[in-house]
A and B are shown apart, each in its own frame.
Chain A
Amino acid sequence: MNSYKTTRFGQIPVDPEKILRFPEGLLGFPKAVQFYLLETGEPNVFFWLQSLDDPGLAFVVMDPENVHPGYRERVLSALSDLFFRDQEVQALVIVTVLSPESMTANLQGPLLIRMADRTGRQVVLFEEEDWLRYPLLQVQESR
């Protein structure tokens, strides 16, 4: 176990075997190439994707199957990317939080991770424009 100092979570233990690598970075963050998944609590729908290159950089991510069953299969079958062909692939989507009442998931630019070497990239689906801000929570009835 190594350890890494983060802005949000202080010192976190990092198992080198579980580091996720995005050699091209994420879109807009070309230098953020190593990430680590942290739990956010129960239920385990959301995870923090903490950068190991920038202590202050973290995203909230989730498995898109939670909101769109069959998503991963659909995306993989549409991709012509050899990098992911015949591979076990995990998909994560980045969650944007405007407020706890207004959250969206970016299903248009998923992070795909090849599990064999935990290496991935953010891909862009050009045909799915209404997936950029896929609503997670729409109306809050408690007011």
Chain B
Amino acid sequence: MGDNIRIVVLEVKGSQVRLGVEAPSDLSIHRDEVWEKIMEENRKATTVTPDQMEIIVKKFSSPRIKKGKKDGSDNGEKKK
């Protein structure tokens, strides 16, 4: 991966592999960790089933999440 950057395997746990990045700058290590976390979160998010979603949608029909107050300030973010 370019000059001076090495990917190393830190840990193998079940089907998960923790990777480390060896790079000259602290910043890029930090950035790669953040990328890694987002990828992991993406992967975790793919397991939802329609049955689960049905339960969730029912729960949300009694409003529980805070809706943005529409104080007449129009932000036309809704699309058709």
Residues of A within 8 A of B (CB): 8-9, 26-29, 40-43, 45-46, 48, 57-60, 63, 65-67, 69-70, 72-73, 90-91, 94-97, 100, 103, 106, 108-109, 115, 122, 124, 126, 129, 132-133, 136-137
Contact of B42 among A63, A94, A103, A136 (CB under 8 A): A94
Contact of A133 among B41, B42, B43 (CB under 8 A): B41
* CB-based contact B61/A124 at 8 Å: no
Within 8 A of A (CB), among B52-73: 52-57, 59-61, 63-69
* CB-based contact A59/B57 at 8 Å: no
Residues of B within 8 A of A (CB): 30-31, 34-35, 37-50, 52-57, 59-61, 63-69, 75, 77-79
Question: What secondary structure prevails in chain A residues at the interface with B?
Answer: mixed
What would be 16 A-B contacts, judged by CB atoms less than 8 Å apart? A8-B49, A28-B39, A28-B40, A40-B53, A41-B53, A41-B54, A46-B53, A59-B46, A59-B48, A60-B48, A97-B45, A97-B56, A100-B59, A108-B37, A122-B38, A137-B64
